[in-house]
Structure 1
Amino acid sequence: MNLTSLEVAIAGAGIGGLSLATLLARQGAAVTIYDQMAAPQPVGSGFVIQPTGAAVLSHMGLLDQVLARGSRIRRMHGRLSSNGRTVLDVSYAKGAHGIAIQRVALFDLLLDAAVRAGVGFETSSRVTAVEDGSRPRIVLEARNGSPADLVVDAMGAGSPLDRKPATELSYGALWATVPWPKGGPFAEDELQQRYHRASQMAGVLPVGTAHDGAAPMATFFWSIRNTDVAAWRNAGRAAWINEVRAFWPDVVDLAEIAEPVHARYRHHTRQPLAGRNIIRIGDAWHATSPQLGQGANMALLDAASLCTALISQQTIADGLTRHLRQRQMHIRFYQLLSSILTPFYQSDSRILPFSRDLLIGPVTKFPLLRGLITTLVTGELLSPVARIAFDRIAFDSSDEDALGQPA
């Protein structure tokens, strides 16, 4: 399909929405993003871009800039807080790595790419519904958006376009971005975590710089039951610092300067099609806990898949069908995997973490199983990038000159 006559309305200026908007606009589509913020801005802390997400960013011509701002992650290492015994040890294949990055850093790069591609923005625009039809229309609080050929819900797990509530997980986390402790006890290429059963987890992730010339930072996270957040606030900072000190002394300095934000998590798999020529991507379609760290990577894959599918087909309907064929198997598998594994890492169970500690650490010492676990964690199982067929996207010369190659 020639996209030069395509009009697209995207609800949500997150990673998935910005990526899709840029890819479509570069193909000549007229794209408008509607977002409730007064100005586009990121929400959340740091995360790891896996090889799947990096492949999309490479084809967008952004990978070199992402690598310059992020930190290469080559290992994920988890120990028990009580005795330091390793219960999770996952390393990337030789020459491969993840990229830990601050959400604001990736957001700024994606926003700049969208603006340069000619994407339009309607800010301070809270989307409340979508009018179905051959030319669907986004409905805002105070007015209606213009009719479009395609409407995309990229508003995340809390999207108002599905009245069916998502299942909120019992555990959330306190997240903070703090200065990277140079010369401290943490490796610059590792995600390090500590566990007590499944009821307590903390981690430190180096996430690079927010922009050129900025100081390197780390993301510090501390799991917490959502029902315990009020009690945590009432107990005060000193009580929390004492708890952190008893759990993992090495991170006390980070906790003391942290300004933590409480994040809640949902698990759901909604119907991807919300009406005729109305589709969901990212967490609006499939939300999970952060245990496998796939959220941003899945959104990038969704965006690239939808673009290539539309290009390869003669009609929007056929493009959406092709897109779902390319993505559904991968999404269903990781939704199931997340549902199964999350209680082993965040729950009140005593049996599940015991079996985790007994089995997972020793299993990762066997090369074949270690490789399988690595493939699971990096999101590469079922070959989601190959299914997208990036060769369907023809970049113009300016895009080709900007293409970065995986390091």
Structure 2
Amino acid sequence: MKIDGLEVAIAGAGIGGLSLATMLARGGAKVVVYDQMEAPQPVGSGFVLQPTGLAILKAMGLFDAIAARGQVITRMHGALAGGSSGPGKTVLEISYPVDGHGIAIQRVALFDLLLSAAIASGVRFETNARTTGIIEGKRPALTLDGGRATPSADLVVDAMGASSPIGHDPAKELNYGALWATVPWPENGPFHPHELEQRYERASHMAGVLPVGTARDGAAPMATFFWSLRNREIEAWRNAGRDAWLERVNALWPQAVPLAEVAEPVHARYRHHTRKPVAGCGVIRIGDAWHATSPQLGQGANMAMIDAASLFLALARAPSIDEAFALHLRQRGPHVWLYQTLSVVLTPFYQSDSRILPAMRDIAIGPTTRMPLVRQLVSRLVTGDFLSPIKRIGLEEL
């Protein structure tokens, strides 16, 4: 169908919303993004852009800027707590193919680049506009806080994430969340500059360190430090104070104490759901609004960008919005289903109250992931390339 002149309303100025808005605006669509913030801004710390997400950014002409700000990641390594002597037994070992890698980046850095691209493409923004629902019809619209309705559009996109208020499908909150903080990267410290490193005590305690590059040109390199925490324990953690937390960090991973000492952590909660992607006539969900998971597989931002590219390409190829939705779901459905299933199956091995599952992990998963054939399979799973989502959406046409 013709993208030029298409009127689009997108709820949510996150990674998926900004990516889709930019693609559509570059194709000639009239795009308005509605966001509840006073000004568009990122939420969250750092993450790894996998080869799938990087392929989208390359097609958008943003890869070089991302590479300049991010940090190349070639390995993910998880080990049991080993005390001051170093890491204990390896329970997670994932390396990229010889010619592949991820790029770890601060969310603010990716957000700023996507926001600049959207503005340059002619995307309009309406801030202080909290979406509360949709008005269905041949030309749907959004309802905003206070009862105000947006102008009707040809296409409405819910890109508001796991807590989106559109629809009535409940999202299951997971028992575990995490404390996230962006901290200065210790240049001469004990951490590898091209690895995501994690430490575990059973599945109830986990910490991680990820080098995430610079927020902007000339800025100092930073790291993301994260600490697994049961959601019901967040108030107890706050009341106990920093010294008590530092003692706990020291017991799990002494080398990470200097990061925790300067951290200003933010508590993040996670949900798991797979909602119906089509929320009404001309209304569709992308990213976590459609398929939210735990952060264990690290696919959230990458999946949102693939969704955005798939929907844009489907709209360009199909003769109508309904047929574009159907094509988009054929392109994305199998990949989404696979990673939703993997999240449910694998998360309890690394983040749960179980004693049996982490014992099985320590005995079987760690050694198994070092076997050549299994390592190749696991690498494809973690890098998001299983079922070839980029090939399925025909990205070369973007």
TM-score bracket for the superposition, by shorter chain length: over 0.9
2:117 matched residue in structure 1:
113
2:19 matched residue in structure 1:
19
What whole-Å deviation, never above 9, does each CA across 1:314-341 have from its counterpart, x for those lacking one? 1111111100000010000100000000
State the one-letter code of the partner of 1:126. Answer: R
Deviation at 1:88, TM superposition (A): 0.8
C-alpha contact (below 8 Å) 1:311/1:392 kept by paired residues: no
2:49 matched residue in structure 1:
49
The residue correspondences of 1:20-39 to structure 2 (distance < 5 A) are 20-39=20-39
State the one-letter code of the partner of 2:8. Answer: V
State the one-letter code of the partner of 2:156. Answer: V
Taking the aligned partners of 1:34 and 1:384, their CA distance within structure 2 comes to 28
Taking the aligned partners of 1:213 and 1:282, their CA distance within structure 2 comes to 32
Taking the aligned partners of 1:362 and 1:53, their CA distance within structure 2 comes to 29
C-alpha contact (below 8 Å) 1:79/1:193 kept by paired residues: yes
Deviation at 1:17, TM superposition (A): 0.2
1:341 matched residue in structure 2:
346
1:398 matched residue in structure 2:
none
Taking the aligned partners of 1:315 and 1:30, their CA distance within structure 2 comes to 17
Q: TM-score, normalised by structure 1?
A: 0.96
Aligned to 1:201, the other structure's residue is in SS state strand
The residue correspondences of 1:99-178 to structure 2 (distance < 5 A) are 99-142=103-146, 143-178=148-183
What whole-Å deviation, never above 9, does each CA across 1:146-186 have from its counterpart, x for those lacking one? 10000000000000102232000000000000000011000
What whole-Å deviation, never above 9, does each CA across 1:128-156 have from its counterpart, x for those lacking one? 11000100011111311110000000000
Taking the aligned partners of 2:346 and 2:326, their CA distance within structure 1 comes to 30
C-alpha contact (below 8 Å) 1:12/1:154 kept by paired residues: yes
Aligned to 2:210, the other structure's residue is in SS state strand
1:233 is the counterpart of 2:233: no
State the one-letter code of the partner of 2:104. Answer: A
1:247 matched residue in structure 2:
252
- CA RMSD for the aligned pairs? 0.7
State the one-letter code of the partner of 1:165. Answer: P
Aligned to 1:4, the other structure's residue is in SS state coil
1:364 is the counterpart of 2:362: no
Aligned to 1:5, the other structure's residue is in SS state coil
Deviation at 1:366, TM superposition (A): 1.3
Deviation at 1:365, TM superposition (A): 2.1
Aligned to 1:32, the other structure's residue is in SS state strand
1:202 matched residue in structure 2:
207
Deviation at 1:5, TM superposition (A): 2.2
Deviation at 1:2, TM superposition (A): 1.6
Aligned to 2:161, the other structure's residue is in SS state coil
Gaps of 5+ in 2: none
State the one-letter code of the partner of 1:318. Answer: E
Taking the aligned partners of 1:149 and 1:343, their CA distance within structure 2 comes to 42
Taking the aligned partners of 2:7 and 2:331, their CA distance within structure 1 comes to 23
C-alpha contact (below 8 Å) 1:312/1:392 kept by paired residues: no
Which of 220, 228, 231 aligns to 1:223? It is 228
Report how many residues are paired: 393
State the one-letter code of the partner of 1:10. Answer: I
Taking the aligned partners of 2:12 and 2:358, their CA distance within structure 1 comes to 37
2:360 matched residue in structure 1:
355
Deviation at 1:362, TM superposition (A): 1.1
